Amino acid sequence: MSSVEKKRLRDRRAQQNLRSKRSQQMAVLEKEVAHCREHHDDHGIQRLLQVITGLREQNKALRSHQERLKCLVNSWDASPVEVPTNTQEPRDQSLPGSIAIPGGLMNNIDSSSNPIQSSRNNTPRDDPNPSSLRLGGELSHQQVPHTQTLSREPPTTDTSLIWKQLPLHADNFLDPRTISCPWLEYPERIALCPNSPSSPLDLLYGTNTNYLADMIYKATQRRPIRDPERLAMGWLCYHLTRWVVSPSPATYANLPLFLRPVPDQLQITHPMVLDNIPWPQLRVNLIRHWDVLRDIRDDVFGLFSCCVKIRWPWGEGILERNSDNELCIKEKFFETFMSEAGWGLTPEFMQRYPQLLAGVDLGAIAYELVDKEFYQGEK
């Protein structure tokens, strides 16, 4: 080969090597870009920033709690004159053992450091042994143990701070596998939703403008629920979730009295999904026996969704048009499901799980279905 041909061959090899290195570098860069788009989107960054903010607030609260403990220990050696007379401070539900996730979502980390959880051990209560709970159809003749009647308002020294007392949830919002309500996977998106749905149609048929209402609609689609129950239960779940995510006097005021937490919800760690049950005593029974019910939760909630009913005339509409010609909830229907007396439970659930109804006024919640077509035919 001549010198010119050798030079051309060297140039071709150099160009080929350059193109090969460039293609390899491009492949590496494309892979890195795809990884960043998958794992570092705006939602993920916002979620991490809110977790960091919650951890900072927790550290601040723990430091304040530590300073109070130091003052208390130092006061032991002081003379009676030097000991401060007022050592009690208002309890803050956001103090030890909780991570503040947007607005108010709380995960229990150390229940021994939580003053509410610790006080539970010293509170006398007639609590049936969960290990003795037997479930099945053979329980219709079993004696139901007596359960203490609950007070509807949690104990507090200042009624203006009741809205701050959040239930003690076991859901770890950093781990989607532990979340009991499917719509809580992105709490930062719930914080951006309005305090109430703009239209009842969002809960009945879904929406692209309200994340929380759309997720609740999709969750209710899993069960054979009529429109009255779908709208009523969706409305309660929506406002309860908004209060838990963003606790304030305004969001708390949207809750009906029977859905507000009772003492056991503040003292016993439990999944958040149990807080959506309309009857306080039934919520307490589920919380106390959750260790037994956890493995059969799909059976329990599947039957419950079929048996819970609104006391509303069969076939009567639940929506009406307002002065702006927009569909809204009928005032009478709204008053019905916002009252505990407006909810009923069919006998199938009572016969299957009688222990869960201990302490519940069965006559007040019993609801008998009437076959409408048979009734009209007889008439």
Question: What CA–CA distance (Å, rounded) separates 249 from 253?
Answer: 6
At 71, is the pLDDT very low, low, confident or very high (cuts 50, 70, 90)?
A: confident
Is residue 189's pLDDT more than 50?
A: yes
Closest C-alpha among 282, 273, 253 to residue 343: 282
Token pair, residue 279, equals 């009857």
Q: What's the pLDDT score for residue 58?
A: 81
Q: What's the pLDDT score for residue 154?
A: 44
Write the secondary structure of the chain as one string of H (helix), E (strand) and C (coil): CCHHHHHHHHHHHHHHHHHHHHHHHHHHHHHHHHHHHHHCCHHHHHHHHHHHHHHHHHHHHHHHHHHHHHHHHHHHHCCCCCCCCCCCCCCCCCCCCECCEHHHECCECCHHHCHHHHHHCCCCCCCCCHHHCCCCHHHCCCCCCCCCCCCCCCCCCCHHHHHHCCCCECCCCCCHHHCCCHHHCCHHHHCCCCCCCCCCHHHHHCCCCCHHHHHHHHHHCCCCCCHHHHHHHHHHHHHHHHHHHCCCHHHHHCCCHHHCCCHHHHHCCECHHHHHCCCHHHHHHHHHCHHHHHHHHHHHHHHHHHHEEECCCCCCCCEEECCCCCEEECHHHHHHHCCHHHEEECHHHHHHCHHHHCCCCHHHHECCCCCHHHHHHHC
Residues of the chain with pLDDT > 70: what percent? 72
Angle between helix 211-220 and helix 227-245 axes, rounded to 10 deg: 140
Question: What CA–CA distance (Å, rounded) separates 281 from 360?
Answer: 6
Residues of the chain with pLDDT > 90: what percent? 33
Q: What's the pLDDT score for residue 86?
A: 45
At 204, is the pLDDT very low, low, confident or very high (cuts 50, 70, 90)?
A: very high
Is residue 136's pLDDT more than 80?
A: no
Give the contacts of 204 (CB within 8 A, at least 6 positions apart): 217, 227, 230, 231, 234
In which residue are the tokens 């035919």 written? 377
Is residue 33's pLDDT more than 60?
A: yes
At 124, is the pLDDT very low, low, confident or very high (cuts 50, 70, 90)?
A: very low
Is residue 37's pLDDT more than 70?
A: yes
Query: Mind listing the pLDDT tens digit for each residue in 221-238?
Result: 888 888 999 999 999 999
Token pair, residue 25, equals 């570098």
Burial class (CB in 10 A: 0-12, 13-18, 19+), 63: exposed
Question: What CA–CA distance (Å, rounded) separates 35 from 27?
Answer: 12
Question: What CA–CA distance (Å, rounded) separates 207 from 226?
Answer: 19
Question: What CA–CA distance (Å, rounded) separates 308 from 34?
Answer: 47
Is residue 91's pLDDT more than 80?
A: no
Write the secondary structure of 343-374 as one string of H (helix), E (strand) and C (coil): EEECHHHHHHCHHHHCCCCHHHHECCCCCHHH
Question: What CA–CA distance (Å, rounded) separates 310 from 296?
Answer: 25
Query: Mind listing the pLDDT tens digit for each residue in 301-344?
Result: 888 988 999 999 988 999 999 998 999 999 999 999 999 999 99
Query: What does the pLDDT average to over 31-56?
Result: 75
Which range is least confidently modeled, 56-70, 217-231, 248-262, 281-295? 56-70
Question: What CA–CA distance (Å, rounded) separates 202 from 273?
Answer: 21
Average per-residue pLDDT for the chain:
76
Is residue 51's pLDDT more than 60?
A: yes
Q: What's the pLDDT score for residue 121?
A: 40
Which range is least confidently modeled, 214-228, 275-289, 363-377? 363-377
Higher-confidence residue of 117 and 378: namely: 378
Query: What does the pLDDT average to over 347-363?
Result: 89
Is residue 117's pLDDT more than 50?
A: no
Q: What's the pLDDT score for residue 41?
A: 64
Burial 18-34 (b: 16+ CB within 10 A, else e): eeeeeeeeeeeeeeeee
Q: What's the pLDDT score for residue 94?
A: 39
End-to-end Cα spacing for the chain: 110
Token pair, residue 169, equals 């949830």
Query: What does the pLDDT average to over 180-203?
Result: 88
